[in-house]
Every structure is written in C-alpha cells, then in structure tokens.
Chains A and B, each alone.
Chain A
Amino acid sequence: MNDFDAKHSPDDPLVGALDRWANDTSGYRPFDATMLSTPPKRRIARWRAAATFAAAAMFLFALSQVSFTISMGGATLQWGTIVANESEELSTQLAETETRIALFEDQLSTHVDAINTVAAQNAILGESLNATAIELVQRQELESAARIYDMQHLAQLVTYEQ
C-alpha cells in the first residue's frame, strides 16, 4: 500500500478513487511488438571509439596536406592549405598583370604607329622646306644676276653717251 493509504484510512473513498484512477487501464491495447525491426544500439567499445577518433584525426591531417579542386557543373570545390591558397592567389594576380602588360603593349604599338606617322609627316615637311629653300636661293640668284645685268647695261649706256 502507498503512503496515501498509510496516512488515511483504507476505507477513505478518496484513497480508493485515487487507486482506481491510477490503475485504470481503460482503452488499453497491447504493445505492438512488430515495430521492433531495428536492433538495439550496442554500447560502443572504447578501443573502437579510440580507433575511430585516431582514423578521423589522421584523415583530417592528411587532408590538410593536400590541395585540389573539384568542378561539377557550375560549382567548384577547392580544398588546400593556406600556402596553396596564397600560391593560387599569386598566380591569379600574375595572370592579371600579364593581361595588363599585353594591353599596354597594344596601346604602345598604336602609339608607335602614330609617332611614325608624325615622323613621316615631319620628313615630308622637311623635304618640302628644303625644296622651298633651294627654290628661294635659285630665285635670289636669278634676281641677283638680273640686277647685275641691269647695272652693267645702265653703265654701258652712260659710258656710251659720254
């Protein structure tokens, strides 16, 4: 008997009603043992747990020593050490620098063409200037000769009148 009975009279209607309430199995259906399809979990042996832990630690250590990249469709999985990541970052920066150099070379070649064009134009202008100068000298020489002739002719006329 429980302490409720001990404290109160066995004829106590409250105690009797409580006992009936607590032990009433109305609606009871037996346990369906067919649901026991999965075996119970066994206690894992300590050595197995230790071996599993050691294997996991070794796997993680080995994984930390390599780097690789897996591409599937549009997704890319990268794994590697910090050094590998930095190296890859430097490679990327180098590739970007090479691209910029190529771009500058293109721009430089374009500018060189322009400079050559200007130089050619300068050469043409120089030749033209030179030709003009020669022509000018020739005209001055012709003009000087003409003046000399005019002076001589004038002097002959004066002498002839004298």
Chain B
Amino acid sequence: MDETTDKALIQAVGTANDRAAFDALVQRWDRRIFAFLAKAGGDVEAAADMRQDVFLRVWKYAATYNEAYAFSTWLYRIAHNVLHTWRAKRNGSYTFPLNEKEDTHEAPGSYRPDHSAITSEIDQRVRTAIDGFEVDDRELLLMRLQTEMPYREIGEVLGIPETTAKSRAYKLMSRLREQLADLHAVARSSS
C-alpha cells in the first residue's frame, strides 16, 4: 500500500482507536522496524523488546501524529528514540549477534542464510565492516535501504540536514568499498 494509506490508517487509530487499522500498520511495518532495531542496535533479543515499545508508542500516541510528515518518518523517529534510550541504559555497549543463525519466523522471500558459501562469506564480511560503523550511520543505511526514504526525511529522523545525510551515505559507501575492495574477486571465484 502507499504512504497515503499509511496516513489514513494512523489517523483512524488516532481518532477512533481503530484496532484493525493498527493491526494493518503492524503487519506492514513490523519486520522492517524489527530489522532496523536489530541491525542498528546489534541485539536481536533487545530488538524484539524495543519493537514492542515502538508499536505501543504508535498505539498510545497515534493522536499526536502530524500528517505534514510521512508516516514512515514518524515511525522511524519513534524507533530511533527507543533505540537511543535503550543504548543509553546499556551505557553504549554494543554486540552484534545477528551473525548467529537463529530464525524462528522466516518471511516468504526473505533472505535465507543457506546460500552458497561464497555469498555467506561476502555477507559476513559486509556485516563485520558495518559493525564498525556508528549507530546513526547504520540507521541511515537501514532507512535508505529498507524504505528508500528520502534524505530529507532521514535527516529529520536523525536530526541532521538533508545534505549532511546525503554526503554521509556516500562516505559510508566509499568506506565500505575501500574496506571490501576484493569483494568482486571473491564473487567471481564462485561463478
């Protein structure tokens, strides 16, 4: 569904406590928000709890949603706040257990780690490289990759200007390319 429908759903929640509208929003955004929190925060178990907190806030504060902004911007802003509150409580310590192959509810079509060993190696190296990024940088990449969110909205979520968000994205890509310069050679070895 498109963004207008998201707005209509959240307004239905805010004005009429429409549970069906809320469930529709959860179904649409739950996996992305979970992945966003897990990848940016680096803790799957904590991501599950944080995701609960995010959608509880959506339910509780739906009436405060400002339709001048995209729903995704509002939602990711909530997720961003929840994530940083959680990190502050953890004193900034960071783990990245997502490399463990735990999978309980795989979605149809989602990535399955039973690809070739080469693909697994590439993914592992990319994840390790991203592991060294700051949380805000991982959030930026996730918002752009998951929802193709415009840099203006990414900037609103992270509290930075649009131009800063844009230049930071390209710097991150350049950094990854430098660190993983031999990925093409690794990929070719599998073909």
Measuring CB to CB, which residues of chain A are less than 8 angstroms from any residue of chain B? 1-4, 7, 12-14, 16-33, 35-36, 38-43
A26 with B98: CB separation less than 8 A: yes
A14 with B52: CB separation less than 8 A: no
B142 with A4: CB separation less than 8 A: no
B104 with A27: CB separation less than 8 A: yes
CB distance from B142 to the nearest CB of A (A): 5
In the complex the two chains form, what is the Cα distance from A30 to B98 in whole Å?
A: 17
The listed residue (B22, B110, B148) touching A2 by CB distance below 8 A is: B148
A27 with B47: CB separation less than 8 A: yes
A interface SS class: loop
**28 residue pairs A–B, Cβ–Cβ below 8 Å:** A1-B148, A2-B148, A7-B173, A13-B122, A13-B183, A13-B187, A16-B122, A18-B126, A20-B123, A21-B39, A22-B141, A24-B35, A24-B110, A26-B38, A26-B100, A26-B102, A27-B47, A28-B31, A28-B104, A29-B48, A29-B104, A30-B30, A32-B52, A36-B56, A40-B17, A40-B59, A41-B63, A43-B14
CB distance from A78 to the nearest CB of B (A): 41
For A14, list chain B residues within 8 Å (CB). 126, 176-177, 180, 183
In the complex the two chains form, what is the Cα distance from A3 to B172 in whole Å?
A: 13
CB distance from A30 to the nearest CB of B (A): 6
In the complex the two chains form, what is the Cα distance from A33 to B22 in whole Å?
A: 10
Whether a CB of chain A sits under 8 angstroms from the CB of B9 is: no
When C-beta atoms are compared, the residue in chain A nearest to B148 turns out to be A2
A39 with B17: CB separation less than 8 A: yes
